[in-house]
Chain A
Amino acid sequence: MNKFLLLSISSLCFSFSAYAGGFKIGLQGQKQIGMGHTGVGFVQDAATIYFNPAGMSFIGNQVNIGCNALMPNTSFLETNTNLLTKADAQVFTPFSVYASSKLYKKFNIGLGIYTPFGSGMAYPKDWGGEYILHKINLTTIYLQPTLSYKISKKLAVGAGFVYSTGHVTLEKDLPINSMSNSTIASAELKGAANGIGYNAGAYLRLNEQLSFGLTYHSKVLMKVKEGTANFKDIPTALTASFPATNTFTTTLALPSELSFGVAYRLADHVIFALDLNRTFWNSYDSLGFDYGVNTDKVTDAKSPRNYQDVSAIRVGVQYEMSSKFVFRTGFFYDQTPVKDGYVAPELPDNNKIGFTLGASVQVAKNVKLDFSFLYESVPSRKQTNLETGLSGTFQTKAIAPGIGIQYQFNKKNNPKK
């Protein structure tokens, strides 16, 4: 029964795309989401492979699988034309799978598969920004084999190697009208990307009341080596300028992040957690496309992004009502890396405020079901983009209910190495 549950949940979550502010996704573990996505200084399940690899030394042998149904709603009010555009409603399902096991003496080994970055926006075909962006889809999946070492009863360190794989799709219309074809010309860039990095952390469980964690996620350069650039509905007279099939290369810098976390037991059944994140987005200074074939109209382009380093604060509280039921709530404030003048349809970002709820239920001896609910608001931001001239107000709200399952291998009955 348990295995069936595991299977069905993982098969539900086969679609990897996800939207997120600063295209980082704060949905990496169900219990953690319930507490405002805190987990650097408070280790409670195998999702610690993402939050703090050192935490593996404190959780025993377990598997955690979870996914969310992320449903963002974005609106755009163009200042000059007073036209309101609603981005297409989409459901994204970022997922995570974590497994952790004792390896040898003080070593623990684990594997995490999760989706830390992604974005997806789709605008109606005839909206005012059609020559800037029609659709973007960016997905990444991190595979992270991880090792932790328990230095003492209180202190552990851990590190994982990250292999990142993903793909990017970008569609926009070209302002080229054709005599013979009423469909406007368009460009579609598509490519698979991959990169490598690491994730390292330290965790100190000072006593039953207090614990600390420190984690560093490295930068990952996602390289698209052989993307395809398709130009469609190009008038005959211009086909030489827009080769129907072209290639491109590009690199997307996924930022590094330093996090500090602390957890404190306020009362017998109540734990408070706080995470502080600093994300080094300045690595994303521009987005360039280097085309295989250059023509008078298709030239290598570098468009400035100039993202800035940002901080986030996350807090959460957990209440253990009984051995069967646990409830959580949390809050976060996440600064936007997008500076004034750079807000674009691909990422209509602003400082984000989020509110979360969560619960866990012990359904069998070794099985817990985790539930989470995230509400996120990206408040209105009125901007004129310096590059494209698009002027208007973006606003986004998102909800993301999530479900997860945890299976704890019983040490006494099923001893593992």
Chain B
Amino acid sequence: MRFTISILILSIFVFSCKPNLKEKYISAGSADFTRFVAIGNSLTAGYADGALCKSGQQNAYPLMLANQFKLAGGGDFKVPYMNDGGGNDGSDNPRRVLGFAIPCGSTSPTLAPVWDAAGVTALNNVSAAGPYNLVGVPGALAIYGTSGAYSGLNPFLQRFCASPNTSSMLSEAMRINPTFFTLWLGSNDVLLYAVAGAVPPVDLYSPRLSSDTLLRMVLTAMVDSLTTHGAKGAIANVPDVTSAPYFTTIPWNGVVLTQGKADTLNAIYSGTGITWTAGANGFMIVDSTVPGVKMRHATAYDYILLSTPSDSLRCGQWGVNPLKPLKDKYVLDVTEVTEVRNATIAYNASIAYIAATKNIALVDINSFLKTVQSGIVYNGIAFNTSYVSGGAFSLDGVHPNPRGYALIANEYIKAINAKYGSSVPEVDVTRYTGIVFP
């Protein structure tokens, strides 16, 4: 009996009853996260739902990175927060939220983006409390990265920089004396032009594609400065704009007709060479290259932009009536898509070149968003790039929502760990919200 009891007691000691799994040791590798600065445009600022607001800034990916870096020796991370409220898009409009609206021709309310009832938040000047680790400037082009004049023009940079008309994004970042940096610029150099329908520039302020040579020069100069004192860092590339729901939500062939309606339209269009058939037809779009009528049906290679007024599409005969073809500014047509894609490819070649020659990590956001476009699953949450239901993008169709930003933060972490041999843990994407429903 005594023998058995002692065996029993012994066995309890020998075989522990609890699992012995332990967290892995977290190392910074050859990186030093002590002073981390993040430079970029609206995507870096935490812009979402069509505006920069405090709750968006709290879910900016650089802040997520900083929180993870803290596990590997990172220091504090200062964000130039807006005041509470609905935020500001730079033109005194608040963000959008999901609400209900009655579409034309209907009596029942359906889900639609509406202005945040909290209203617009005035841009507060927080430069006195600077410098900030988050140099995220909505609207910023890569080619303005070193421009001091730019802080006089962009209210988002002006509100936190040391001295307007003198401070550049780069000089603001250098005030941190960074040991580690992330740099994500270039999206706006193609996106602003694309979201405006790639309309030919009319004046100095019109959106246009940046020169690749200039972009490469500026980004190279920025990385040179940032790495002067041996800082390590990561540079992210430019996503193909057609990954964003802003370009893919309205179907190109959204004109669905009965035979009777098609017959009526064919009678109206007789002599133009344009025909309509029962079923789905491409929207009528302006195309100056078409002789005579200067319009044609949209094809699968044309993108109808989310900015197109949906009531006009539903009830105003836009894209159907021969007098109302969709204007250039609402369409990224096949030649414009090619133009925009070629620019993106050139920028990304420059960014990859900089990453390679300056020996910093390259974050391939472009490839990642293409993967998301075909659908990914993260811990049981399915993501794709569909508007609202896809779960990754915010209501503006261009900027991610918090979960989407968390996925992007993880792309940074993977690239940084791979480059510097660090083991910074990834962000738990499930902790962040997706689209918020009323």
Binding site for B on A (CB under 8 A): 71, 73-78, 80-84, 126, 128-132, 172, 175-180, 235-238, 325, 327, 329, 355, 357, 359, 373, 375, 377, 380, 387-390, 393, 395-399
Nearest CB in chain B to that of A132: its residue: B380
What is the distance, in angstroms, from B394's C-beta to the closest C-beta of chain A? 12
Nearest CB in chain A to that of B410: its residue: A80
What is the 8 Å Cβ interface bit string for chain B, positions 95-115, against chain A (1 contact, 0 not)? 001101000000000010000
Q: Which residues of B contact A389 (CB under 8 A)?
A: 376-380
Given that A82-B23, A357-B4, A393-B21 are known contacts, is A131 also in contact with B111, CB under 8 Å in the complex? no
Q: Which residues of A contact B39 (CB under 8 A)?
A: none
Nearest CB in chain A to that of B428: its residue: A81
Q: Which residues of B contact A172 (CB under 8 A)?
A: 380
Complex A-B, nearest 9 residue pairs according to Cβ-Cβ distance, in ascending order: A235-B437, A82-B425, A131-B380, A75-B19, A132-B380, A395-B19, A80-B426, A388-B380, A75-B21
Kindly state the interface size class of chain B when it binds its partner.
Answer: 35 or more
Given that A82-B24, A128-B428, A397-B16 are known contacts, is A180 also in contact with B381, CB under 8 Å in the complex? no
Say whether chain A's binding surface is mostly helix, strand, loop, or mixed.
strand
Given that A131-B380, A132-B380, A388-B377 are known contacts, is A236 also in contact with B22, CB under 8 Å in the complex? no
Question: Do the beta carbons of A397 and B18 come within 8 Å of each other?
Answer: yes
What is the 8 Å Cβ interface bit string for chain B, positions 18-46, against chain A (1 contact, 0 not)? 11111110100000000000000000000
B205 contacts partner chain A, Cβ-Cβ < 8 Å? no
B270 contacts partner chain A, Cβ-Cβ < 8 Å? no
What is the distance, in angstroms, from A69's C-beta to the closest C-beta of chain B? 12
A387 to B434, CA, bound (A): 21
What is the distance, in angstroms, from B389's C-beta to the closest C-beta of chain A? 9
Question: Do the beta carbons of A377 and B15 come within 8 Å of each other?
Answer: yes
Question: Do the beta carbons of B4 and A84 come within 8 Å of each other?
Answer: no
Q: Which residues of B contact A355 (CB under 8 A)?
A: 11, 15
A73 to B21, CA, bound (A): 11
**Which of A71, A131, A329, A357 has a CB less than 8 Å from the CB of B379?**
A131
Question: Do the beta carbons of B17 and A237 come within 8 Å of each other?
Answer: no
Q: Which residues of B contact A357 (CB under 8 A)?
A: 4, 7-8, 11
Nearest CB in chain A to that of B4: its residue: A327
Q: Which residues of B (348-404) have their CB < 8 Å from a CB of A?
A: 376-381, 391, 403
Nearest CB in chain A to that of B378: its residue: A389
What is the distance, in angstroms, from B59's C-beta to the closest C-beta of chain A? 12
Question: Do the beta carbons of A395 and B21 come within 8 Å of each other?
Answer: yes
Nearest CB in chain B to that of A359: its residue: B4
What is the distance, in angstroms, from B114's C-beta to the closest C-beta of chain A? 12
The residue among B391, B403, B426 with the most chain A CB atoms within 10 A of its own CB is B426
A398 to B379, CA, bound (A): 26
Q: Which residues of B (41-100) have their CB < 8 Å from a CB of A?
A: 97-98, 100
Question: Do the beta carbons of B21 and A325 come within 8 Å of each other?
Answer: no
Question: Do the beta carbons of B438 and A235 come within 8 Å of each other?
Answer: yes
Question: Do the beta carbons of A81 and B17 come within 8 Å of each other?
Answer: no
The residue among B7, B97, B377 with the most chain A CB atoms within 10 A of its own CB is B377
Jot down 7 A-B pairs with beta carbons below 8 A, ordered by A: A83-B428, A84-B21, A179-B98, A237-B437, A389-B377, A389-B378, A395-B21
Question: Do the beta carbons of A325 and B1 come within 8 Å of each other?
Answer: yes
Question: Do the beta carbons of A388 and B379 come within 8 Å of each other?
Answer: yes
**Which of A81, A180, A397 has a CB less than 8 Å from the CB of B427?**
A81
Question: Do the beta carbons of B26 and A399 come within 8 Å of each other?
Answer: no
Question: Do the beta carbons of B97 and A128 come within 8 Å of each other?
Answer: no
A327 to B8, CA, bound (A): 12
Given that A237-B438, A359-B4 are known contacts, is A390 also in contact with B380, CB under 8 Å in the complex? yes
Q: Which residues of A contact B423 (CB under 8 A)?
A: 82
B228 contacts partner chain A, Cβ-Cβ < 8 Å? no
Q: Which residues of B contact A128 (CB under 8 A)?
A: 379, 428, 430
Question: Do the beta carbons of B430 and A131 come within 8 Å of each other?
Answer: yes
B256 contacts partner chain A, Cβ-Cβ < 8 Å? no
Nearest CB in chain A to that of B376: its residue: A389
What is the distance, in angstroms, from B45's C-beta to the closest C-beta of chain A? 22
B435 contacts partner chain A, Cβ-Cβ < 8 Å? yes
Q: Which residues of B contact A77 (CB under 8 A)?
A: 21-24
B288 contacts partner chain A, Cβ-Cβ < 8 Å? no
Nearest CB in chain B to that of A297: its residue: B389
Nearest CB in chain B to that of A77: its residue: B21
A389 to B381, CA, bound (A): 9
What is the distance, in angstroms, from A225's C-beta to the closest C-beta of chain B? 27
Q: Which residues of B contact A390 (CB under 8 A)?
A: 379-380
B433 contacts partner chain A, Cβ-Cβ < 8 Å? yes
Q: Which residues of B contact A399 (CB under 8 A)?
A: 17
**Which of B8, B16, B18, B410 has a CB less than 8 Å from the CB of A373?**
B8
Nearest CB in chain B to that of A389: its residue: B377
Sample of 13 more A-B contacts, CB < 8 Å, known A74-B19, A389-B378: A75-B19, A77-B23, A80-B426, A84-B23, A131-B379, A179-B98, A179-B437, A237-B98, A238-B437, A357-B7, A375-B11, A397-B18, A399-B17
Q: Which residues of B (325-365) have their CB < 8 Å from a CB of A?
A: none
**Which of A179, A373, A393, A396 has a CB less than 8 Å from the CB of B436?**
A179
Question: Do the beta carbons of B425 and A397 come within 8 Å of each other?
Answer: no
Q: Which residues of B contact A73 (CB under 8 A)?
A: 17-19
Q: Which residues of B contact A82 (CB under 8 A)?
A: 23-24, 26, 423, 425-426
A387 to B8, CA, bound (A): 42
A236 to B98, CA, bound (A): 12
What is the distance, in angstroms, from A201's C-beta to the closest C-beta of chain B? 31
